[in-house]
Every structure is written in C-alpha cells, then in structure tokens.
Amino acid sequence: MTRSIWKGPFVDADLLKKAEKVKASGRHEQIKTWSRRSTILPDFVGLTFTVYNGHKFIPVLVSENMIGHKFGEFAPTRTFVAHTAADAKAKQEA
Amino acid sequence: MSLIAVGQIVNVHGIKGVMKVKPYLVNMSDFKGLNPLTDKDGKKHFEATLVGHQKECWLVAMKGITDRTTAENFKGLELYTKRENLPKTKENEFYHCDLVGVAVYQNDLEFGKVLRVLNYGAGDILQIKTIQGQTLELSFSKANFPKVDIANKKIQIVLPEDMKERLK
C-alpha cells in the first residue's frame, strides 16, 4: 500500500535540520546521515549528503532528477563487481 | 603507449573465420576508430572489420583469418586498442582510465592517489587512497576537485569541512 498523499513525503526531522543549517551557512560541507529511508526533497538540491550503507558513508550529490527518491537508493549495501567499460566517462559536476 | 581493453573474443561465427567479440564499451556502436586492435602486450596486431551484431556482441572479421579453425585459436583473447584511439571527451568529462592512478594534491602537497571511479546513480565518485593509507570517497564535483590536469596527471583537492576534521 502506498503512502497517503495527505501525510506528505517522509524525511527524518534531524536530517531536515542539518540540511537547513548547512544551506544557511553556505559552507563546503557534507551532511552525514544514517537515514536511508528519508525522501529527497527539492530543498536538498545542490547539497552533498554522505549516506551510510552499513559499512561506510557514500557521497550523494543531490540533483533535480533525484527528487522523490530515497537516500538509500544511491548507497548500495552490496558490492557488485563488473568489468569497467573501456570508454566509461566521469562527468565533473558544477 | 597505453593500451585499453575494448573487448574479448568469446566465440567464432560461421566457417569463414568471423569472430564473436564481447565489447567492453558503454555504447556498442563505437567500433569505428578502434583499429588496429592488439593483444595485451601489443605484439599481435589485428585489422578488424565489423560485419554484424549478435545479441550483445560484435561479429568481427580479422584480416588474414579466413577459416573457422584458425579463428578458434583466438577464443578467450582480450583485444586492446591505443588510448589515443578513443574519441575526445567534452569539457568536464574524463575517461575513467585517465583518472585512475592520478596523483591527488592538497595545497601543492601530495595527498594520495585515485583508486577507482564509482557511480551509484548520484554522480561520479572518486575513491582516493591517502598517503597515510586511508580510503575515502568524494563526489567528483568542482567544489571538491577544482583543478583536474590529466596531461600532468595531477588533481587538486579541496576537502569538505567535515572531512578535514575526520582526517585530523
């Protein structure tokens, strides 16, 4: 059963507080979180969170197309090893 | 001269020496410009022509190999190409093979080395091994890596405030 719309998206309160604090300070900082269940809100765009995967903290740079997803989706808990493509490119975000 | 693995001969196809090659490329259609292909040591050279596709594989005819028996001898061989044969990247785009192993500097002091490039769907992440032996992951952003100099194999790093405290 899906979550009722009237409740709004779920975000841990302390995460919301941390995000507001970092946004207001404008410091070059990552927000450490264990809250994999929290939904990514439009307010989080541009911020970097480090999400715990049970082993270490994975950096998650929030972009617009991630809104509505959960943080846990971007920090996998299991290792998947595959051959890296020869022409795989990395894009440097602004 | 640096060589990059672009595929592996997994089988043969038909009786005319055509080989089935599993590509290691993001886009299968990027076969053009990879010639000449070589083996791991760069000693054997192959002039390859793409003759078709079969599922996720290329069907490749090699110059001088005209029968199935000869082609079968190459089963399992990894095919390499020169790094220069890969197409040029856009601005702010870098090949993983160029980034891995590059030295990372913090305020002109050696900080570590790029171990690997990861991507879990939230942008690219550089995994760095510091000279103290610690491993850390950082988003590949302008804020964290303001200067990327692939030609001189140097990357400038600016650590986020929270990470500075953690590494103290």
Establish if B166 belongs to a structural domain: no
Establish if B109 belongs to a structural domain: yes
Same domain, B78 and B103: no
The dihedral through the CA atoms of A75, A79, A80, A84 has a sign that is positive
Same domain, B35 and B108: no
In this predicted structure, what is the pLDDT of residue B1? 61
Comparing B149 with B165, the larger pLDDT belongs to B149
Helix, strand and coil in chain B, % to nearest 5: 10, 45, 45
Confidence of residue A90 (pLDDT cuts 50, 70, 90): confident
Burial category of B84 from C-beta neighbours within 10 Å (exposed 0-12, middle 13-18, buried 19 and up):
exposed
- Cβ-Cβ contacts under 8 Å for B33 (sequence gap 6 or more): B85, B87
| CATH number (domain holding residue B33) | 2.40.30.60
Residue B148 near chain A (CB below 8 Å): yes
Residue-wise pLDDT for B5-24, tens only, equals 888 999 999 999 999 999 88
Tell me the residue type at B118: L
Strand bridging mode B37-38 / B45-46: antiparallel
Q: Which residues from A are below 8 Å from B96, CB to CB?
A: 84-85, 88-90
In this predicted structure, what is the pLDDT of residue A31? 94
Same domain, B62 and B112: no
- Tell me which chain B residue has its CA closest to the CA of residue A45: B122
Give the structural domain span for B128. 96-159
Q: Do B26 and A85 touch (CB under 8 A)?
A: yes
Same domain, B10 and B67: yes
Same domain, B132 and B151: yes
Residue-wise pLDDT for B121-134, tens only, equals 898 999 999 999 99
For an interface test with B, which of A25, A28, A29, A58 has the most B Cβ atoms less than 10 Å from its Cβ? A28
Residue-wise pLDDT for A25-46, tens only, equals 988 899 999 999 999 999 999 9
- Cβ-Cβ contacts under 8 Å for B163 (sequence gap 6 or more): A30, B136, B138
Residues B70-82, mean pLDDT to the nearest whole number: 91
Residues A6-34, mean pLDDT to the nearest whole number: 93
Establish if B91 belongs to a structural domain: no
Same domain, B81 and B103: no
Q: What is the mean pLDDT of chain A?
A: 91
In angstroms, the CA B44 to CA B119 distance is: 34
Establish if B164 belongs to a structural domain: no
pTM of the model: 0.83
Establish if B165 belongs to a structural domain: no
Establish if B56 belongs to a structural domain: yes
Residue A58 near chain B (CB below 8 Å): yes
Write down the ipTM of this complex: 0.88
In angstroms, the CA B145 to CA A28 distance is: 12
Same domain, B7 and B74: yes
Residues B84-102, mean pLDDT to the nearest whole number: 87
Residue B75 near chain A (CB below 8 Å): no
Q: Where are the alpha helices (DSSP H) in chain A?
A: 13-25
Q: Do A86 and B24 touch (CB under 8 A)?
A: yes
Same domain, B138 and B106: yes
Confidence of residue B68 (pLDDT cuts 50, 70, 90): very high
| CATH number (domain holding residue B113) | 2.30.30.240
In angstroms, the CA B95 to CA B77 distance is: 24
In this predicted structure, what is the pLDDT of residue B28? 77
Residues B70-95, mean pLDDT to the nearest whole number: 89
* Tally of domains in chain B: 2
Residue A74 near chain B (CB below 8 Å): yes
